[in-house]
Each structure stands twice: as structure tokens, then as C-alpha cells.
Amino acid sequence: MEKFSLGVAWNWDYDVDFVAGIESSCAQQGLTTYRIEPANVLETLDRMRAGDIAFHVLLDRASDDDDSFEPLIRVIAKSSTHFFNLSDQVNRAKDKATMHLEFITHGLYVPYTIIISPFNKRKEIELSLSELARLGRPFIIKPANTTGGGTGVVLGAESLKDVIETRQHHKNDKYLLQETVKPKFLNGNKAWFRVLYVFGEIIPCWWDDITHIYRRVSADDEERYGLSVLREMMKTIQKVCSLDFFSSEVALTEEHTFVVVDYVNEVCDMRLQSKHKDGVPDDIVRWIQELIAKETKTYCSS
């Protein structure tokens, strides 16, 4: 049997640099890697079933939106392989309705939200006009489980008609109706943050919800604006979702309240900023690749 240190399941063309960087970082640590791609996923499944191949650790960035990977992931899950972001935890974490209630329970501030049942479970909306009015205008409509790149999200909803029409796009999914959170500005910077959590390391970034441009929060920024609270919030979020590698969005309001506006992004976009204007700063991506290699080595040594 050939046992690799790390298997990486991926299917997004834009992940090519991220995967190559992981391979390079692992090689520097004396670790072996194996790419699982759409072109070899069936072959890899056959090799797993035959006992020809195994993995110490698996990073799965594919099965969440590509069903062809699921049989292989199920087989690997029955082996001794350690998963970065277990499938059951990912499924729970990406349910925005569940996370919304858990975050409130754990003392985190979230937008005012109304959760409505799936269309296929209840055709009529359990929603009064007074409840709708509390959301303000415009408000946001989000499917609870359909994630990735803002899929299914309506940012400028204005009426009950918008809700009725939108919830029929994903008829088996719950929907969240949320107030629009308006951030304050700190010395000209929009106080909107995307914060990465990677194996215990917390990486706060300035992030614009319109342009999606990243800029790392410096140590000076953190001290000057009291942003260390972002680290404490991410520790709490990690306790709730139990993931190894994820991001969350947090906005600071005019009332100086830190509000979690996007709960758990379980498969983080790792495009390089040097190649994509709205990508992640290259130094952060390199650090994450090194952290993945370091964490893999820990499990290979145990």
C-alpha cells in the first residue's frame, strides 16, 4: 500500500496555485501529497477500495459542491485518515440558521434575523408585516445551506413579494431574512472584516463587502482601533463550529458593536491577490499553506 501524507481533493480551476503551494510547503517538510481531481476521482476510489492507497490526512475542497467526490470521501472517512474539517462539522457549520441560533447562545452579536421554513415544508410564510418592518429597507435574503460566492443571496430586498419569490429558488432550504448592517468608518477605512481561522492561528483582514478587496489588519491597526476583540470572537466561533480552517465576516457598527454578518465560510477562497484583485494577500496564502503542511506533519508523526 502507498500511503501519502496529505490528500487534497479539489475541483475549482482557481485553486491551482493554492494546491501547488501546499505541495511545495509539504515537500519542504519531507511530506508526500496526492491530488484528487475530477479526472482521477474514480481511479482513486478504486485504489482505496483495493487497499492500494491511503492518506494520513485529507483536505477536502471539492465534495461540498461536486457529488462525484462523495463516494470517495465516504470510503476515506471509514479509514484512519484524519480530516481537516470533518464532513459532519462542515454540514452543520454551513447551516446559517443553526449557526445564527448558536452564535446568539454563545453571546455573539448577529444581525436582526427572521428564519422561515423551506417552501416545500410550508407554502405559506409565517411572517407578519410588523416583523418584516423590523428588518428595515433594504434587507437581505439568504438560503440557510446554499453557500459559496453569495449563491442565492439577495442583498437589496424591499418587500414581502421579494421573499415569496426568492424562497422558491431553493425549495428545500430554510431562508434567513436579515437587516442590512451598516459599518462605521475608522480613519477612512470601512470597518468590515474578513477573519481567517487556520489551525488556531487567527488572521484578521480589512475587507470591503462591495469590492471584496483584502488588506491585512496590522498590529498597529489592532491596537489603535481595539480590534483584538476579533480574535476573541473567532475563538468563540471556532468552539461553535469546530472547524480547523474557515473564515467569518464581522462589521463594526456606529454603535461600536462588532456584529458577525457572515457566519462560517467553510471553504475559503484562496486565490492570490497578485493574480486576482479580490484575492487573498499572497503572504497570507503562503502562511496558510505552511500551516497546512505543519499540521499535516503533526498527524503523520503521531
CATH of residue 47: 3.40.50.2300
Do 161 and 192 share a domain, yes or no?
no
Mean pLDDT for the chain overall: 93
- The predicted structure's pLDDT at residue 150: 57
Q: What is the CA radius of gyration of the chain?
A: 20
Per-residue model confidence as pLDDT tens digits over 87-104? 889 999 999 999 999 999
Position 276 in a domain: no
Q: Which residue has the cell 500500500?
A: 1
What average pLDDT score do residues 123-130 get?
A: 74
Among candidate residues 134, 151, 179, the one where a domain is terminated: 179
- The predicted structure's pLDDT at residue 205: 98
What are the Cα distances from residue 154, in Å, to 44, 122, 258? 39, 21, 23
Position 238 in a domain: yes
What average pLDDT score do residues 101-116 get?
A: 94
Position 103 in a domain: no
- pLDDT band, residue 132 (cuts 50/70/90): confident
Among candidate residues 129, 147, 179, the one where a domain is terminated: 179
Q: What is the DSSP string of 21-49?
A: HHHHHHHHTT--EEEE-TTTHHHHHHHHH
Scanning 207-281, the segments in alpha helix (DSSP H) are: 219-225, 229-241
Do 257 and 197 share a domain, yes or no?
yes
Do 190 and 203 share a domain, yes or no?
yes
Do 6 and 81 share a domain, yes or no?
yes
**CA quadruple 35, 41, 42, 44: dihedral, nearest 10:** 30
Do 187 and 174 share a domain, yes or no?
no
Position 281 in a domain: no
- The predicted structure's pLDDT at residue 149: 54
Query: Do 70 and 19 meet the contact criterion of CB atoms below 8 Å apart?
Result: no
Do 202 and 173 share a domain, yes or no?
no
Within a 10 A sphere around the Cβ of 17, how many other Cβ atoms? 18
- The predicted structure's pLDDT at residue 153: 84
- The predicted structure's pLDDT at residue 220: 96
Among candidate residues 123, 152, 179, the one where a domain is terminated: 179
- pLDDT band, residue 148 (cuts 50/70/90): low
The number of domains in the chain is 3
- pLDDT band, residue 278 (cuts 50/70/90): very high
Do 71 and 21 share a domain, yes or no?
yes
Query: Do 91 and 70 meet the contact criterion of CB atoms below 8 Å apart?
Result: no
- The predicted structure's pLDDT at residue 157: 83
Position 99 in a domain: no
Do 23 and 75 share a domain, yes or no?
yes
Q: Residue length, the chain? A: 302
Do 196 and 227 share a domain, yes or no?
yes
Q: What are the CB-based long-range contacts (under 8 Å, 24+) for 155-161?
A: 155/180, 160/125, 160/127, 160/129, 160/132
Q: Domain residues for 122?
A: 112-179
pTM of the shown model: 0.91
Cβ-count burial of 148 within 10 angstroms (0-12 exposed, 13-18 middle, 19+ buried)? middle
CATH of the domain at 137: 3.30.1490.20
What average pLDDT score do residues 289-294 get?
A: 98
- pLDDT band, residue 255 (cuts 50/70/90): very high
Position 212 in a domain: yes
Do 172 and 201 share a domain, yes or no?
no
Position 204 in a domain: yes
Residues ≥6 apart with Cβ < 8 Å to 176: 96, 97, 100, 113, 114, 115, 116, 140, 141, 142, 143, 144
Do 166 and 197 share a domain, yes or no?
no
Position 97 in a domain: no
| Strands 2-10, 33-36: pairing kind | parallel
Per-residue model confidence as pLDDT tens digits over 6-57? 999 999 999 999 999 999 999 999 999 999 999 999 999 999 999 999 999 9
